[in-house]
Amino acid sequence: MIGRRIRHTNRYREILNALMKNGFSHFLFRVGLADRSLAKSLKAEEIDPSLKNIGRRLRYALQELGPTAIKLGQIASTRYDTLPDEITSELEQLLDHAPVLEFEHVKQTFEVEFEDTLDNLFDYFNPEPMATASIGQVHEARLFNGEEVVVKIQRPGLKPKMETDLEILRNIGEMLEERTLWAQRYRVCDMIDELSDILTNELDYIMEGRSGEQVARQFDDESFVKFPHIYWELTTSKVLTMEKITGIKVSNIDELDEAGYDRELIAKRLSHAMLKQILKNGFFHADPHSGNIHVLPKNTIAFLDFGETGHVSNKLKQNFGSIIVNLYEGDSRAMVKTFSKMDLIDEKTDIDALERDLDKLHMQYENVKMRELSLGNVIVRIFEVVYQHHIKIPMEMVMISKTILTLEGVLGRLDPEFSLMSEAEPFARRLVLKRFHPNEMIRKTIRELSDNFEILTGLPEDVKDVMSVLKRGRVGLDINVKHVNEVMRRLDKISNRIAFSILMLAFSIIMAGLIVGLALVGQSTVIWELPIIEIGAVIALMMFILMVIIIIRSNRM
């Protein structure tokens, strides 16, 4: 515990010194992290208050603080939804800033991880790195069977340093939210938690390898998408060995043209692959920048580096699809309903004002051609509107929007005429219509009936427990139930639906029993000169259709 406090104290001092050195002493004083005398150390004329200058000074400070800060800055550079463009453009330069790890450290990491030497593990290992990053660096190598591979090696001693930095960052975030309104509004702690999760996952190369294989399984039947094979016998949490994929980086437009590749087809295939991951399967490559996408012969796309992936639940996936369709159709009212289904709107939200602001946003894009619209930028503008109404956007959705923005940057260079909005709309519409598929409706109905039945069956026991506590005089209650009539009406609807469903189930069982019984004894289905079975089947079908109509009209699909 004492050692941890000492580490924190020393690191706090390093962080404060780097920030003050780069002109953030006034900010540190305002949030209570620095003394007034330190804030006065810089003359007013020495401080340029422009966002561009703030972003530049922040970049310098992060570079000085080392790998953890650089990686956090790289991730923050993609947060277009919350940070100004002037700052993100400066932080993007951190993507190219990574010191080279000495080869001796590389050899030492291998010896510790595999208890063996590089000479015994590889036929050839290039001591010069082919790429460097804040977490590690990549080397070319060759196995004894002649296969060419690339090896990713993590920087030594990184994990404990990052854990200390993340703990300190979380403490600073809590302090900012306690003392500043802007930190509360932009949920700084949530952002820090998201960044910490991403960073922690990137420290485990085994997880990265498994994530790559999980995405690759989505394309087993599609030959135009390729993923590197993982050599698990030469992989640990700090070393990742994978197949070497030799292609042209998707941003090297001149090389693609010289090789005769079809850039329009590549853009279409790349967008299809990413939309399939996000809107169909819900597990996706969350960092599709140009360095992680290469083009192979026959216009094949290769995805690299799965340190950052995203996962979307089925419910959130459908809601995001609804937002895209609402956006495509310019339907603000439907978009507000989607936010409501996502439980993002509370009693403090002025729904009419929110709808008006969304209408104003839609009007700005009304006369813009669809191919000229940026799906990512429009989504970010929507986020800006909802933030003003104190609506909290799920972090998973923020990651999707960040991924789409990154993807659009790559697609724009491949084919300036390409519209991701037009490509995404059919995906989203199919996703929205899927909820009305009979199988999906039956599964959802059964699930809701089961949930409601569990609530109702447990209600008497819950009431009994509450009454028992009240009789003992342990609780004083001041109950003010808002909209009690609405609550009772909904409970009445639930009970009626359950009763109707039970009757329908009982009727179906009786009909099935009649069919089986008559078949066993060889009797016809005509009783008292009436086709009882046929009539019963029609009645059962009508009851089912009625139940589906009731559910759809209740807007609970």
Would you state the pLDDT for residue 43? 46
d(CA 271, CA 410): 10
pLDDT exceeds 80 at position 232: yes
Would you state the pLDDT for residue 343? 77
If pLDDT is split at 50, 70 and 90, which confidence band does 377 have?
confident
If pLDDT is split at 50, 70 and 90, which confidence band does 212 have?
very high
pLDDT exceeds 60 at position 478: no
**SS3 track for 85-99:** HHHHHHHHHHHHCCC
Using a 10 angstrom Cβ sphere, with 0-12 exposed, 13-18 middle and 19 or more buried, the burial of residue 440 is: middle
**More confidently predicted of 268 and 522:** 268
The whole-number average pLDDT for the span 481-490 is 52
Q: Which residues contact 410 (CB under 8 A, 6 or more apart)?
A: 250, 251, 270, 288, 289, 290, 293
pLDDT exceeds 90 at position 96: no
> Among 50, 62, 49, 52, which Cα is nearest to 86's?
52
Neighbours of 479 (CB within 10 A): 4
SS3 of residue 240 by DSSP: strand
The whole-number average pLDDT for the span 217-238 is 94
Per-residue pLDDT reduced to its tens digit, 450-474: 666 566 666 667 666 766 766 666 5
pLDDT exceeds 70 at position 316: yes
Per-residue pLDDT reduced to its tens digit, 487-521: 555 666 666 666 666 666 666 666 666 665 655 55
Residue 51 contacts residue 68 (beta carbons within 8 Å): no
Would you state the pLDDT for residue 273? 95
pLDDT exceeds 90 at position 334: no
The whole-number average pLDDT for the span 82-96 is 74
If pLDDT is split at 50, 70 and 90, which confidence band does 319 have?
confident
What single-letter DSSP state applies at residue 261?
-
Angle made by CA atoms 54, 100, 194, in degrees to the nearest 5: 50
Show me where the domains of the chain are located: 248-434, 438-553
pLDDT exceeds 60 at position 195: yes
> Among 404, 342, 3, which Cα is nearest to 164's?
3
Detail the DSSP E strand segments found in 267-409: 283-285, 293-296, 300-303, 309-311
What mean pLDDT value characterizes the chain? Answer: 78
**More confidently predicted of 343 and 351:** 351
Per-residue pLDDT reduced to its tens digit, 4-42: 556 677 887 888 788 888 877 767 666 666 655 555 554
**SS3 track for 123-159:** CEECCCCCEECCCEEEEEEECCCCCEEEEEEECCCHH
Rank 15-19, 296-300, 342-346 by mean pLDDT and report only the highest: 296-300
SS3 of residue 1 by DSSP: coil
Would you state the pLDDT for residue 482? 47
pLDDT exceeds 80 at position 246: yes
Q: What percentage of the chain exceeds 70 in pLDDT? A: 69
